[in-house]
Homo-oligomer: A and B are copies of this chain.
Amino acid sequence: MARVAGQIDVAKNEAILDAAVDVWAERGVQAPMEEIARRAGVSKQTIYNHYGCKADLVQALCARRVHEIVAPLEAPGAIEQPAQALAAFGRVLLTALLTPRYTTLLRTAMANVATMPEVARALYEAGPRASRRGLATFLETETAAGRLACPDPVEAAEFFAGMVISSRQTAYLLGVPLGLTDADIDRIAREAATRFMRAYAV
């Protein structure tokens, strides 16, 4: 196990984070730390060496993991026809959203808004907020290029993302299985893109 001098074991740290997501996904945040330790193949004490208390673990987990999940949304990709670009964005968005890990993160953060609002806030900024902003920029460019007519790109971005996601995120958060296949996701994203293009045609 590679350990950095004077530092904390990196691999073990990852294992702890992974175990935490899994455990919380299965049993909720109120699951005992001991379980996370067991799952991570680590002693409880080690966790407390890395993170002072449970709240810190929650915080660290949210901070670290959001980025992994939302990263694909930031990759701009080749500039294609707006409809294709939108569809692609929709696909990525929906896929990311329905990730069990992201769901767990959200649930965890939501359950703790009262006790640690900053975590929830950070998750919002890194997630929905950032992705909408990226989309809005794209729509603005397209409008400037005369391929779309979005007088209010931010609002339009909200609209499009909303169409793609709609009640699906809530369903997922409430543990209702939707059973969406990749083909379904693709169809939804494409249809949303088509309709959006009609709504905002020049």
Residues of A at the B interface (CB closer than 8 Å) are 26-30, 106-107, 109-115, 117, 120-121, 123-124, 127-129, 132, 155, 158-159, 161-167, 169-171, 173-176, 188, 191-192, 195-196, 198-201
Contacts and interface: CB of A to CB of B under 8 A. Distances in A.
Secondary structure class of chain A's binding surface, majority of residues: helix
Contacts of A164: 162
Given A28-B111, A159-B192, A165-B166, 12 more contacts: A28-B112, A29-B111, A110-B110, A110-B174, A113-B174, A124-B174, A128-B167, A158-B166, A159-B195, A162-B165, A163-B163, A195-B199
A75 to B, nearest CB: 20
Contacts of A165: 162, 166
Contacts of A199: 195-196, 198-199
Q: How many copies does the complex hold?
A: 2
A39 to B, nearest CB: 15
7 contacts: A28-B113, A30-B30, A121-B174, A121-B175, A124-B176, A158-B166, A196-B199
A111 B117 CA distance: 16
Nearest to A200: B195
Contacts of A113: 28, 107, 173-175
A55 to B, nearest CB: 13
A192 B152 CA distance: 12
A27 B114 CA distance: 5
B159 A163 contact: yes
Contact of A158 (B115, B155, B167, B176): B167
A196 B117 CA distance: 35
A120 B111 CA distance: 14
A62 to B, nearest CB: 11
